[in-house]
Every structure is written in structure tokens, then in C-alpha cells.
Amino acid sequence: MQRSIFISYAHEDAHRISKLEQWSKYARLGPGISISAIPVKKKSDASTEPNEAVAGNIAMAEAVVVLIGNTVTPRMESEARLAMEMNKVVVFTRLPYAKGILPEDFAGFPVVSFEPAAIATAISG
């Protein structure tokens, strides 16, 4: 059975999606995991509300993985909030060498490392 994971990320971290897709292809994130990510243009990082396509992808996803790089955008915050409102598993993962911090609303949430076993454990609850 296919399980979809939506990825929330900043424009500058788009290259990390291919690594997640590779891990997914080889079942390193768990069996049957597929990656869903909507291409982000730099100026869309400033938007604060998920559009219909993003909201639909989050609704169909089992979990949302938020990539914490050097920047956490308002759009990423609103995607995480929407996922929580939809009772989705939300996983915050810190990218290597990243200096970004979780937004204040999410300060108490755990952050896992950007490696397949940690993400797989977190998404499986």
C-alpha cells in the first residue's frame, strides 16, 4: 500500500527533495512511502497560506516532513499548522549544517536529523 509524505521546504532547500525521493525509492523511509512536494518559487516562500494544491496534498498525506534549513518561512509554518489541524503526523527535520530554528509556535516539538532512519521512525509514530 502506497503511503504519501508531503515535504514542506524553503526554496533554497529544494535540492534535498531528490535525496528524500532516493530514500523513498529504496524503502529507507519505510515500505510503500512516496514523496509529495509542490515546487516552490522563491517569492512563494513569503506567502502565508497554503494554496489549494498544497492543502490537497497535505490532506492526502499520512505525514508532513518540514525541512529546517537556514530559513523557515511563513509558508512552511502555515503548512505545518494546517497539517496539525488535519491531525497529520508532523516531523521537523534539521538539514545538515543548517542554522534555522523552529518557529516559536513549534518550539517544544522534537527535531530529528536529516537521515532516513530518524525520519522513518518519526513518521511511523
Domain edges within the chain: 3-123
- Domain 3-123 -> CATH class: alpha beta
pLDDT per residue as tens digits for the range 25-34: 999 999 999 9
Pairing of strands 89-94, 33-36: unpaired
**Strand ranges of the sheet holding 89-94, from the earlier edge strand across to the other edge:** 33-36, 3-8, 63-68, 89-94, 111-113
95 grid coordinates: 538539514
pLDDT per residue as tens digits for the range 42-86: 655 556 666 788 889 999 999 999 999 998 888 899 999 999 999
Are 91 and 112 in contact by the 8 Å Cβ rule? The answer is yes
pTM above 0.85, yes or no: yes
